[in-house]
Structure 1
């Protein structure tokens, strides 16, 4: 706080009209390492205060030019943070009361003074000056920071307001984009219906089934979008096929020539190309291209198999087959179940049956998917390997180890049966 020999350390101003007393005070304080400025004139001391800063002001009371208390009152106006000490031989009660009431005095020192008492008073005076100055500095810093904070808050409020405006504009743009996207899908559907009304009706039926499947929690957001969009656009490439060939394919597919069959089997590629003008999402393109692939790898156009076929395409294949088979509901379901594990992913078939509710089940039985198996469930039908080996019998309560066994077997050889459990 007051290091000896430091030229920048706080200073003491001593005022006493008696030169001998003034010299003694100066010598005593300098011996303790303080930087001291001394004068016999309070008027001169006030001039010094205007030019220099002092941490402590020590003044005699009875002086001819000005009373010490009056001098300290004036000094406070110039250096309000300085610690003011009144030194006097006569400590009259009125003087003490006046000094305390006006709050101008930090301490009183009686003449003759004790060196230890004076040293302790000076140390306390320096500490008080440091605390007051530091508090003033911190207060000013706090005010400055508060001012900056107010400016920053105002700027932040403006930025938030701007962001809200941008968000509103972005939401409106996204809404317009979504509306435009829906209009594009609707336009494609109308083109299909105009080209071939029967084809347009099939597309709407496929979309309804795909929507039911997509509404489950068995898809990521990207897969859900690919399935919904793929249902709208998967047959768009058929508008490049002559109507007569389409009718022949529906009524007598076995009579088609190899070239005509190849023409039909290229429509997923054409659909993929045309769909890219509506949606550039890669998974949408892959789903549309692969919706006629078979789980066993004998489909078209790329002969993909099993998990290499995108999950949305595996689900879309079941919906398309059901709608485009031209069979009655029961016969179409039988055909799909017969091809489970061959043309179709068994999990996709199970999902199709679960969401469409096309098969009437007893009230206490419901259909689930392989990934939904939980310990404690009771099977309502037996599960068999493709070679007819019984894996889990009807009525068996599933344990964690049994479920693990079923899933491991499915990885090696897909379990094609429906999964029915008692509720």
Structure 2
């Protein structure tokens, strides 16, 4: 295996960009102009390997589909010859076989889709090189610690003063190792998020959930000041909660859970355990895997896989279920009808004490209102009424859509008697049942009180 010398601290990191389309290479070169990198270009896998044989390269980013030698094959060669080089796959199409080959043989660090967002591309490169630097520094510190221990063994018999001095140095080294290990754990979180994006390729964009659940969990952790370890475990659990579904058929992946037939329903109930089993062998994932295992337990004990009840369900699992159900209700993955954000929260509030921790539900609704601009349910002036409870003078708090998605009324519309009658008639004609989000002016509220 060919060896390459590590880049020194004062050198600019060397990036090798590989693509058979020169227009792509030119775009990347323009993007990286002014960045603290030395950029090299290659139009084929063979040319890239020739360049790497002549000089050390810190990071290789290659297109997946190229003639003669595709990106996955190139990255497999790079992994074999230059294992310290960071490897990134860049592709404009979803090819599971290429992705699997790149992961298994090239052990890629990241996967980026075309067209890319410039800021995300720059962030990905910075994070990848920062992780590489952290790992090199950790190995250097480990070697330094080992060397110092050997010296201590030789000096221990006669030089007590030297022992005390070296002990102090070892403590400093251990502190640095702890910092390096913490950085590695943070990088692990990033890795789980990248993998979750790959897993999401099994679903159409309208059914993908992981990114929104990750962001919602992060907002909750930040607003409630949860410690770094808890936040990290919750984030990883949100990223990979549905990894056990990857073996399902496309039809089952897209079918609402309430519509699954007997055999598929049993398989559905097994996905939390399957997800946990896949992750338990990874030591940094053990706590997150436990949260995933129990995120389909229910407050009343009717959930799965262990029928845990109440506070016997881990707090993180209770929070994860709220976030998962809130997003999946809007994606049509639980019920056949896709809900808007307020309707999903009404559903969650309706089942507080049965499916969800009742003390956590209202707190969760407030977090959703902080995070999402279209949530009105947290506003105490907003009421959720059936069409027959509407009266003239009420004001729509959000758009009203039919079950087929057609817009019926815009938010801000002031209701009158004939309009209410038309809504009741339309609801009966469609055999539907709408929840109407309205604001009730003080004069209308007063009139309702007098009538009652």
Q: What TM-score does the superposition give when structure 2 sets the normalisation length? A: 0.42
Return the index of the structure with the highest Cα Rg. Answer: 1
- The TM-score normalised by the length of structure 1 is 0.45
